Amino acid sequence: MQTMARRSSTRLCALVERQGQLFSQELGIDVAREPFRWLLAAMLFGGRIGERVAKQTYEAFARREFLTPQAIMKVGWQGLIPVMGEGGYTRYDNIKSQYITAMCQTLVEEYDGRVETIHARARDAADLEARLLAFKGIGRVTASIFLRELRGIWPKADPPLTDIEVLAARALGLTTAKSPEKVMRDLRQQWKPRAASGRDFRHLEAALVREGLTVRRQRRAAARRAGRRLA
């Protein structure tokens, strides 16, 4: 049993070392001090678009200094379309631009333009997620992306694991559980010995997301190859 635990801990450590950089850190965002920037990035990541394009598009927003609700509302959704195109976010540029502008407007009208106020007014983790989901254009994927990297920073930020994280954890042999709750329990038990390594649980989640995306791509490619052989 101890040997299995050591192997699991070694796999987990290697995974975090290899793929555990936070997505917000890649963009130079301090989520504790700049939650609006991270919410904007989460909306881009949450679309059906590649990670590279989402990053490029956020960087295009940064170059234009469209990093506050007021700056975005000033140009309006049509003014965002060239920015989306600059980042390569062209497939859903119109609708995503409208969603981002609507999010900014709601944030200003209902939360004084401050993302922190959403957390301050939320009763608990469930209410925090519900408040985010009430924004036009923010679904569960975007809410999970956003809240995941605020875990441990905002006391009420405690999203469940996503399907992609569960997929990765099972593929890596870190758990045999299937429900997000049980997988979370297993991962937290294994993470305890690593908690003093300069990383926190968010880094493990970031690594699982990257690994899960790779596993899903590989499985889809294998399924396509198998389909061609059958044909």
Percentage with pLDDT > 70 across the chain? 92
Cα–Cα distance, 61 to 157 (Å, whole number): 26
Q: Indicate yes or no: pTM above 0.85.
A: yes
pLDDT surpasses 90 at 149: yes
Percentage with pLDDT > 90 across the chain? 78
Q: Which of 85, 115, 148 is the last residue of a domain?
A: 148
Same domain, 59 and 15: no
Whole domain around residue 211: which residue ranges?
Answer: 2-21+162-230
Render pLDDT for 65-100 as a digit per residue (tens, 0 to 9). Answer: 999 999 999 999 999 999 999 999 987 779 999 999
Residue with the larger pLDDT of the pair 5 and 68: 68
CA 51 to chain centre: 10
Confidence category of residue 7, pLDDT binned at 50, 70, 90: low
- Specify the amino acid at residue 94: N
Please indicate, yes or no, if residue 157 is contained in any of the structural domains.
no
Angle at which helices 51-64 and 35-45 cross, to 10°: 140
Same domain, 124 and 40: yes
> In CATH, what number is assigned to the domain containing residue 37?
1.10.340.30
What's the number of domains the chain is made of? 2
> Quick count: other Cβ atoms within 10 Å of Cβ 185?
13
Same domain, 11 and 29: no
Please indicate, yes or no, if residue 27 is contained in any of the structural domains.
yes
Same domain, 31 and 144: yes
Same domain, 104 and 193: no
Q: CA neighbours within 13 Å on the CB side: how many for 221?
A: 6
